[in-house]
Structure 1
Amino acid sequence: MTEPSLRERRRAETTVLVAEAALDLALEVGWDAVTVDDVAARAGISRRTFFNYFATKDEALFHNAMEWRPDVLAQFRASHEPLVDALEDLFLAQTSTEPHDRDRASQVLRLVEGSPELLPGLLTRIAAMEDVLVEAITDRGDVDEFTARTAAAIAGSLARVSGLSWLSGLQPDPLTSTRAAWAALRSLTTATDRSNA
């Protein structure tokens, strides 16, 4: 795997910077009051440069929270583990490197709840992440596309359950919550196996 060029690294850094500026402003003044000009100014770029990175301010807002890490996807694609085991490892690896700031995450959730116009953009990002996961599952070559989509949907549901469990205080941190969600799935499938025996 080739190292990213300086230009690619700078573009990635600016992308993250713009996304952080959008979220910071949204939490400070409310999303309705935030403009593209505000986000660009906070990020230290021009309005024109902003549109080189994002088509809308909504797209910038959700970027950092809805992005697969390329290295964990590559490791998943290369894994020879059974699919369920590989998926669990993928989500654990993704979760282990994400910031664990419950207060900030709760603020983001309240932001979406208080700004219904953000919901379509959020759902679009979730669907895009799921499509990337379906492609990665299919690339492994051990299941068909229908099974890949089913597996991705189940894994996404577990991620949602684990995230909400952490935010509500049922679990101490996202990693523990992710492990608990996958353990619950395994206990259900084991119980089904026993009942069919």
Structure 2
Amino acid sequence: MTEPGLRERKKQDTRAALSAATLELALEHGLGAVTVEQIAARAGVSYRTFFNYFSGKEEALLRPDGAGLLFAPRLQEQDPALPPLEAARRALGDHLAALDADSEGWRLRLTVLAAAPEVLPRLVELGSAGEREMTEALAERTGLDADRDVYPALLAAVLGCALRVSLTRWHATGEERPLAALFDEVVDVLAAGLPAPRTD
């Protein structure tokens, strides 16, 4: 892989500075009280520059690299012989491994979100966009129609739920295992058909 040029490195640095400023200010004041103007000022850029990188403060918090899930290309890299659920598990595992590389930062981001119920509608919007991306990628892999066939949308919704459960448990319990390992455990339960838990 070639090194990014100077222009691209400057863009990466600006994106990182905006994301870091968002997290810092949200920890100090709460995400709901933070404005884009404050974020831009903390990062040393103009208000307009912020929107060259992020659609809003929630995206700056949750997508610090600006890339999002990148689910479709990661799914395409998986062995075509794999069943859809296993291929999707591995594609999402790659994403979660990247989050594990900055586990401290992500625990702080989740702490901010837990204290900001007012941003829930925007989080739902971002989550829905992610599930739509997964639906379309899974439809392409399975040869189904993303709008008419239920399987791709259902699998994407289940995977989105598995991600939320994994993130919530990882944050709330101070789980020491990698986030990707916790996600694997959740998907194992799904793959087994959600058997009733044993109580003996």
The bucket for the TM-score relative to the shorter chain is 0.7 to 0.9
Q: Hey, what's the Cα distance between the residues in 1 that align with 2:131 and 2:47?
A: 31
Partner of 1:156: 160
Partner of 1:37: 37
Between structures 1 and 2, the one with greater helix share: 1
Give a deviation string over 1:13-72, Cα, whole Å, max 9, x none. 4333312211221012222442222211222211221232234334433333995354x6
TM-score (norm 1): 0.78
Q: Hey, what's the Cα distance between the residues in 1 that align with 2:108 and 2:74?
A: 32
Decide whether the 8 Å contact of 1:62 with 1:125 is kept in 2: no
Aligned length: 190
Show the 5 A alignment for 1:47-196: 47-64=47-64, 67-70=67-70, 73-79=72-78, 80=80, 81-99=82-100, 104-145=105-146, 146-169=150-173, 171-173=175-177, 174-188=179-193
Partner of 1:195: none
Give a deviation string over 1:126-175, Cα, whole Å, max 9, x none. 11111111121122243332311111001111111122222233843212
- Structure 1 gaps, min length 5: 193-197
Rate the CA distance shift 1:141–1:5 in 2: closer, same or farther, 3 A.
farther
Equivalent AA in structure 1 for residue 191 of structure 2: R
Per mean C-alpha deviation after superposition, the further-off stretch among 11-20 and 133-142 is 11-20
Q: Hey, what's the Cα distance between the residues in 2 that align with 1:78 and 1:184?
A: 24
Identity of aligned residues (%): 32
Rate the CA distance shift 1:40–1:162 in 2: closer, same or farther, 3 A.
same
How far the C-alpha of 1:96 sits from its partner, in A, is 1.2
Rate the CA distance shift 1:147–1:112 in 2: closer, same or farther, 3 A.
same
